Amino acid sequence: MAELSQESRGEDSPADAQAEAGAWRQPAADAAGGARGAAGPPTSLEDSTTTAQAALGVPSLLKPAHDMRMLYCAHCGEKRAITLRCKGRTCPVCRRSEYWRLIKSYEGLVDRMVNAKHAIFTIPNVPRLTKGVILMLTRSIKKLFRRKFYQDHVRGGLLAIEVTNIGNGWHPHAHVLLDADYLPQKKLDAAWKKLTGGMVHIKAHEPRNALQYLLKYVGKAPDIYRVDQGAGGFKRYCRPEERDKRDAEFNAAMKGIRMVQPFGVLYGKEKPTKPVLTCMQCGSTDWITEQGLQVMIDLGDIVEGGIAQPPPYPSADYEPLDEEGGSS
């Protein structure tokens, strides 16, 4: 990881951007001069130059489709099919929906920041990922900022957890958007190293750009399936059985952990909002399930042209996928 400076503002390098948007491709030949994969179909995604999201898109690795549910407007009877979230922490579809929801929830908060900075807090790689490791990371950051020097210079911030695995162990780290005065890099790095054995990189950043950069790690499938260890120029991915094992380990460790955590002056100021499903016909936000509709039919609440009265039944409990965080 390249060293960052608070005095410099920067974005992802062209190479990083190209890798992020890379497409599948097959090298013409390997180092020995023979065609890679000539002996048969590859048993891993070793010829990939794309991201973990694309790895999940390989037909052999696809997850089952998300469940669907049919809802009916409680006022006019308009029918709407929705896709339910699986809520898996490694699902790229659900992660993208979460990204837009968080952007809408926090962009107003970061606009009020005085001196925005983006800091990356790392800890040494671990062979096994557990909830205890994640809690150690987040609690250590909060412990550091409770020290008098940082209480005097840090007003608050937003913490986002990222975990990667490129074949050399699990690498948990945190991206933190800070509203803070100047923080000496050496002082911050030394304090963090003494506390956890890890490193810190920090730079100044425009608040909204920093928020988007911060949340992009939450809004995509985690990069936990690689085996290339960052060498060779190609991103190589593990076999399906190893992928399932890493999936299970990651989801178990992250269960009950908030991926994004506000602290300081940002804590409790605003909470993420769930998307609202609005009827395109009448503008209502009350919905019922097929079972509820059948009950209304049996009771005679259905009249010509729609529903006579809003039903006295509880609204459907659902959480639809919505890429823009608003009405589906």
The radius of gyration of the chain from alpha carbons, rounded to an integer in Å, stands at 24
CB count within 10 Å of CB 119 equals: 25
Token pair belonging to 115 = 């001196």
pLDDT tens digit sequence for 297-321: 676 665 444 554 544 444 444 454 4
pLDDT tens digit sequence for 135-166: 999 999 999 999 999 999 999 999 999 999 99
Residues near 252 by beta carbon (within 8 Å), at least 6 away in sequence: 130, 131
Which pLDDT band, with edges at 50, 70 and 90, does 118 fall under? very high
Architecture in CATH of 92-264: 2-Layer Sandwich (3.30)
In Å, how far are 31, 56, 80, 117, 266 from 5, measured between CA atoms? 38, 35, 50, 10, 24
Domain-by-domain residue ranges, the chain? 92-264
- Helices 207-215 and 92-110 meet at what angle, rounded to 10? 160
Is this structure's pTM higher than 0.85? Answer: no
For residue 207, the number of C-alpha atoms closer than 13 Å in the C-beta half-sphere is 18
SS3 (DSSP) at 155: strand
Contact 88, 251 (CB under 8 A): yes
CB count within 10 Å of CB 267 equals: 12
Report phi then psi at 92, rounded to 5. -65, -30
DSSP assigned state of 120: E
Token pair belonging to 319 = 């959480």
pLDDT tens digit sequence for 232-260: 778 899 999 999 999 999 999 999 999 99
